[in-house]
Structure 1
Amino acid sequence: MIILEQENEKKEKLQFNVWKDFFKYLKPYKKQFIILIGLMIIVGVLDSIFPLLTKHAIDNFVNKNTTLGIERFAFLFFGAVILLAVTVYLFLSIAGRIETQMAYDIRRLGFEKLQVLPLSYYDEKAVGWLMARMTSDINRLSETISWGLVDFAWGITMMTAVTIAMLRLNFKLALITLSVVPFLALVSAYFQKRILKAQRDVRKINSKITAAYNEDIQGAKTTKTLVREEINLEEFSELTSSMKVSSIRATILSSLYLPIVLTLGSIGTAFAVNYGGKSVMLGLISYGTLVAFISYTAQFFEPVRQLAVIFAEVQSAQASAERVFSLLNEVPAITDSEEVVQKYGDLLNPKKEAWPKIEGHLEFKNVSFSYKDGEKVLENFNLKVNPGETIALVGETGSGKSTIVNLFCRFYEPTEGNVLIDGINYKDMPQNWIHENLGYVLQTPHLFSGTIKENIQYGNLNATELDIIKASKLVNAHEFIMEMEKGYETEVGEGGSLLSTGQKQLISFARAIVRNPQLFVLDEATSSIDTETEKIIQDAINKVLDGRTSFVIAHRLSTIKNADRILVIKDGKIIENGDHRELIKNKGYYYNLYTNQFIEEQSKSLLG
């Protein structure tokens, strides 16, 4: 199993452009963040006040052996405690809401982006890669930002307030205590690069593991039939081992960083105790001042420790941010111009009332196409299709049949030339214009979890029960549906697993036809079903395609005998063109292909 990594390597340092990009997603929470940071500033200031209150108590009550004025002091002290408790409650509440809402909003934006990206994007990205972006990476990002900014605001405020208080209490002692700060900066710079690289490795391997889970679950039947359980386990074990090694490396780096910060903090405290103790003995400072300084050194290096934790988390969050924004900032390969969007709407906000009705005339005009970094699949391809005409495409694998259909559906766009629908270049219309008028039935139909009725209605959410039954009858699905105990309310299972391939195919036909599309595509829709079911589906095809401009990619040539025209495609070019009788009469490529397939099917029937 090969899981392709789909990340672009970046330099192992903080990418400020990544976080700059992120701030535009923070705009909806601007007021909450301002309130949150304000609350944390209050908390930082309040925390820095308590050592001064302790100093005041020692110097004025303990050393002087008096309680004069203690009532006022107690009132101020408990007032500060209550204010601190209320402030902490408020910031916890707001930060929690921001975290949840931010994750929801970014996940929604990500899902919206997935809806508008073309098929070519999904050709390049593994499902596991996308799942990791939408789940763990977004969670990590929202959690780090909401709580990280809180702790950062508190830490900076606390350190600033403590520094000011220490300098005011005793300038020389403050400088001695803070002499370890430059070393802290050097240590942070050293560990930044290594922690970020380790966290990136962890996130990358996590994507691979998610993709491996997805592939193994989806391919469970193949695994069983090929007896690959042991091999899959070995391959997955290699991935998890890599994850373990990378995670341990990241943990070790963080584990080394934090003790170094604590050690330097302890050294600073030792300097304060040593010099401050001597100063007390010499009468240069009061005992209360020394106690306040010891408290301040602990308070100063506590936010430093917290900032070290935030720093490590930001490294990990940046790795997640890079991946999330690579999805959110993905520029679709197919886009509608501003003029088109203004006039006709976009994918998520269509203005259907402005769309012209599709009659079904189609023209490929000097069309060339090549996939990314690949050879040309089509070159100077020309084709005209009349409204209501059924065109069958025949040819070897890789001849260009699917490319023609994908261009027709505007899943891809021509590299050169134009595709015209009713004489209109479809680039001058919104993508939805075609898709709303398109019925598409795949070789392997996909049903969604839910009932048969819900799956058919998925093609047209405004379809009534009568519309659903009418569509089912048209495609010969009504009879088998009604034979089921719950009829149209029968659950189909995940991916339609509770139904046969033929039943799924008929339901997908009904789902396509309930849209009443003017354009239709059948992509080898009968290649994976038995002969008896094929006859049922063939009858459905004849009914469905009547009056609709349609393309049929056929594996079984017996299913396209009634097509208006059959195009034999080779190397992106039409080498034969005509109906079934004409092509048989010409005794060319199609004749040989049809004859060989007919003999093969008859032989199977006789041996059957």
Structure 2
Amino acid sequence: MEEVDFRQPFKLATWRGILKYALPYKKSFGLLVGMMMMVAGIDALSPFVTGWVLDDVIIASRPDLLPRALVVYLVMVSLQAVVIRLFIGMAGKIEMGMNYAIRQAAFDRLQELSFSYFDKTGSGWIMARLTSDIGKLADIIAWGAVDMVWGGTMMLAMAGLMFARDWKLALVTLSVVVPLLVVSVLVERALMERSRLVRKTNSKITQAFSEGIRGARVVKTLAAEGVQNRAFGELSLTMRRASVKQARLSAFYLPVVIALGYVGTGLALWQGGGSVLAGTLSYGTLVAFVFSALQFFDPVTDLARIFADVQYAQASAERVVGLIEAQPDIVDSPEALAREKARLADGSAVPRLSGRVEFRNVSFAYVPGLEVLKDFSLDVAAGTTVALVGETGSGKTTIVNLACRFYEPTAGSIRLDGQDYKELPLAWLHGNLGYVLQQPYLFSGTVRENIRYGKLTASDAQAEQASRLVKAHDFIVDLEHGYDSPVGEGGSLLSTGQKQLVSLARAVLADPAILVLDEATSSVDTETERLVQDAIDLVLEGRTSFVVAHRLSTIVDADLILVMKDGQVREQGTHRELLAMGGYYKKLFEAQFLEETEAAVLA
């Protein structure tokens, strides 16, 4: 799976997508800008105050003016101390607020995106966006704004004061600004390209960490630690090389800025020294220009650092905006939106579907041109149990994913209760669905919280009633803290069978009109399978259900069995009818029956 790559020149539009999250703090930004301009003004004025003291107090032998000079310095220092204390707190508040807002917006968008987005985008890419990239952007905007306003204001104020005092000397001193701009433009392009490579490699490293944690048991059982270490080492080496190249470029840029600053100072001494000797310039003015030249390039150094950081963050901004602005492939139609808006205005509950599902000449391809389902038609009456069997890749899971509208047909249509399901609100449709996976996923928390995830408004009594219905209550009360026992990350503290029962209880609590079971018993042992299957039989009563099955013994009571092969229905009928046909299903069933009998004898 390749990371989505964004390659474009620096664009203000990209940053507008990020800066809109600063709008709630525009008043704070205004105060922050005002405070930074005040600090910059004091910094710019300091060399000229020193020049005034030198000319009018020391050289002029006016000790009576010393107290006034001390008061001026004291006021300037005190004012700076107070303002700096205030702006540090304000900038930190803005940074944390933007961090929260951008991360929340990104997570909200992830909840809206279609399954196809996650098929194409690695989890490491997403995790890097939600963590390091967003943190980097918030830091740049809050603290970068502080330094940019301070540096820009200070440079403008100093330049203004220098030109007001002696415009010829000011031109000579600031002549190095032009080569500085040329160097900045040249470095900008190289920095941006290197920063993109660093961010892309960082995403791959995050992905590798994630897979290493999730697949730790597989790695150890296959003794594949060496392979994993080598693969990760190659990624880390790529990251190191890219980061070193970027650091070298930054290391070249900053000394150039500093060197140009000293050149400007030398020019001021050369030109100003001659004027002092000629008697056309005072010592205090020369000192003011020398100090100003040195201080003028201090903010240039900071601006150069921010400039480098912005180039680095440009790649982050592209990716974060790319995530936030990604559009789901499946969205509500205008008719569906109007219907949902009317329902919300009335305050009514989500209407319950009766459960009739109709496929009309449905075809589907995950990749254009490679159909995995071809001209599939089926009319499922409400309350019917449909089982789907067949080889891996035959189209079983595709059918149920289409029925749930996790994907939409590339040809044909699907109707629920006689309506094209594209005309139904997604929230309405998914509120009528229950889905139990082969590998059930539980969220970190307690057993009770995971069951209530099916219906967040359910009471404790309703959650316990659902667990009794699927025969999960007995094992739950035997846990150390009963329903309040933690399940661990992903349900790691429970067995696969226990997780499956909790998942079934969660589905029952939601009381869906349509229930999908995707090989719900294929990962459990025979004894647990019987327990889970008994629970499933109770759950299926009165509901339309699609059962993707590996073990054919679990679907003998299904109302209709579809035997899939290469995206098409090869055989269909009840269990008895299919056995009577003597075709592919019968061969599968007899082969499985023989395997299960042998396993039972050996056990």
TM superposition score category, shorter chain reference: over 0.9
- Cα deviation per residue 1:342-396 (whole Å; 9 max; x = unaligned)? 430599x898726432111111122221113341222322111111110001111
Mapped contact 2:352–2:432 kept (Cα < 8 A): no
List alignment gaps of at least 5 residues for structure 2.
Answer: none
SS of residue in 1 equivalent to 2:388: strand
Could you say which residue in structure 1 is the equivalent of 2:297?
301
Q: Distance in 2 between matches of 1:160 and 1:275?
A: 22
- Cα deviation per residue 1:130-168 (whole Å; 9 max; x = unaligned)? 111100000001001111112111111111111111111
Could you say which residue in structure 1 is the equivalent of 2:5?
8
Q: How does 1:52-71 map to 2 (within 5 A)?
A: 52-71=48-67
Q: Distance in 2 between matches of 1:473 and 1:118?
A: 34
Q: Distance in 1 between matches of 2:370 and 2:440?
A: 30
Q: Are residues 350 and 251 of structure 1, via their aligned partners in 2, closer, same or farther at CA, if it must alter by over 3 Å? A: farther
- Cα deviation per residue 1:49-103 (whole Å; 9 max; x = unaligned)? 1112111111111011112344444333322222222222222121111101000
Q: Distance in 1 between matches of 2:474 and 2:216?
A: 32
Which of residues 134, 145, 148 in structure 2 aligns to 1:149?
145
1:457 aligns with 2:478: no
Mapped contact 1:5–1:208 kept (Cα < 8 A): no
Deviation at 1:339, TM superposition (A): 4.2
Mapped contact 2:6–2:319 kept (Cα < 8 A): no
Which of residues 287, 294, 299 in structure 2 aligns to 1:291?
287
Which of residues 571, 575, 585 in structure 2 aligns to 1:580?
575
Q: Letter of the aligned partner of 1:578 in structure 2?
A: G
- Cα deviation per residue 1:552-607 (whole Å; 9 max; x = unaligned)? 00000000001011111222222222111111111111111111111121122222
Mapped contact 1:369–1:414 kept (Cα < 8 A): yes
SS of residue in 2 equivalent to 1:14: coil
Which of residues 173, 186, 191 in structure 2 aligns to 1:177?
173
Aligned-residue sequence identity (percent) comes to 50
Q: Are residues 414 and 350 of structure 1, via their aligned partners in 2, closer, same or farther at CA, if it must alter by over 3 Å? A: farther
Deviation at 1:325, TM superposition (A): 0.9
Q: How does 1:128-139 map to 2 (within 5 A)?
A: 128-139=124-135
Q: Distance in 2 between matches of 1:122 and 1:548?
A: 30
Q: Distance in 2 between matches of 1:491 and 1:369?
A: 41
SS of residue in 1 equivalent to 2:64: coil
Mapped contact 1:567–1:576 kept (Cα < 8 A): yes
Mapped contact 2:4–2:121 kept (Cα < 8 A): no
Which of residues 547, 562, 565 in structure 2 aligns to 1:567?
562
Q: How does 1:109-508 map to 2 (within 5 A)?
A: 109-345=105-341, 353=348, 355-508=350-503
Moved more, 457-466 or 543-552: 457-466
Q: Distance in 2 between matches of 1:606 and 1:346?
A: 62
Which of residues 7, 20, 40 in structure 2 aligns to 1:24?
20
Q: Letter of the aligned partner of 1:589 in structure 2?
A: Y
- Cα deviation per residue 1:399-448 (whole Å; 9 max; x = unaligned)? 11111100111111111222111112111121111211111110011112
Q: Distance in 2 between matches of 1:570 and 1:42?
A: 75
Q: Distance in 2 between matches of 1:67 and 1:317?
A: 53
Q: Letter of the aligned partner of 1:591 in structure 2?
A: K
Q: Are residues 326 and 235 of structure 1, via their aligned partners in 2, closer, same or farther at CA, if it must alter by over 3 Å? A: same
Which of residues 546, 550, 556 in structure 1 aligns to 2:545?
550
Q: Distance in 2 between matches of 1:93 and 1:343?
A: 47
Q: Distance in 1 between matches of 2:493 and 2:84?
A: 53
Q: Distance in 2 between matches of 1:9 and 1:461?
A: 39
1:605 aligns with 2:600: yes
Mapped contact 1:343–1:354 kept (Cα < 8 A): no
Mapped contact 1:344–1:354 kept (Cα < 8 A): no
Could you say which residue in structure 1 is the equivalent of 2:588?
593
Q: Distance in 2 between matches of 1:350 and 1:222?
A: 51
Deviation at 1:206, TM superposition (A): 0.9
Q: Distance in 2 between matches of 1:117 and 1:560?
A: 33
Q: Letter of the aligned partner of 2:234 in structure 1?
A: E
SS of residue in 2 equivalent to 1:353: coil
Mapped contact 1:5–1:204 kept (Cα < 8 A): no
Mapped contact 1:391–1:567 kept (Cα < 8 A): yes
Q: Are residues 548 and 346 of structure 1, via their aligned partners in 2, closer, same or farther at CA, if it must alter by over 3 Å? A: same
Mapped contact 2:32–2:146 kept (Cα < 8 A): yes
Q: Distance in 2 between matches of 1:122 and 1:345?
A: 28
Q: Distance in 1 between matches of 2:181 and 2:330?
A: 47
Q: Distance in 1 between matches of 2:367 and 2:591?
A: 36
Q: Distance in 2 between matches of 1:116 and 1:532?
A: 39
- Cα deviation per residue 1:300-346 (whole Å; 9 max; x = unaligned)? 11111111000000011111111111110101111113443343059
For these two proteins, the number of residue pairs brought into alignment is 603
SS of residue in 1 equivalent to 2:413: strand
Moved more, 482-491 or 105-114: 482-491
Q: Distance in 2 between matches of 1:356 and 1:438?
A: 12
Q: Distance in 2 between matches of 1:495 and 1:311?
A: 43
TM-score, normalising length: structure 2: 0.97
Mapped contact 2:362–2:373 kept (Cα < 8 A): yes
Q: Are residues 96 and 350 of structure 1, via their aligned partners in 2, closer, same or farther at CA, if it must alter by over 3 Å? A: farther
Q: Are residues 95 and 421 of structure 1, via their aligned partners in 2, closer, same or farther at CA, if it must alter by over 3 Å? A: same
Q: Distance in 1 between matches of 2:424 and 2:345?
A: 11
Q: Distance in 2 between matches of 1:116 and 1:157?
A: 43
Mapped contact 1:279–1:285 kept (Cα < 8 A): yes
Moved more, 285-294 or 509-518: 509-518
TM-score, normalising length: structure 1: 0.96
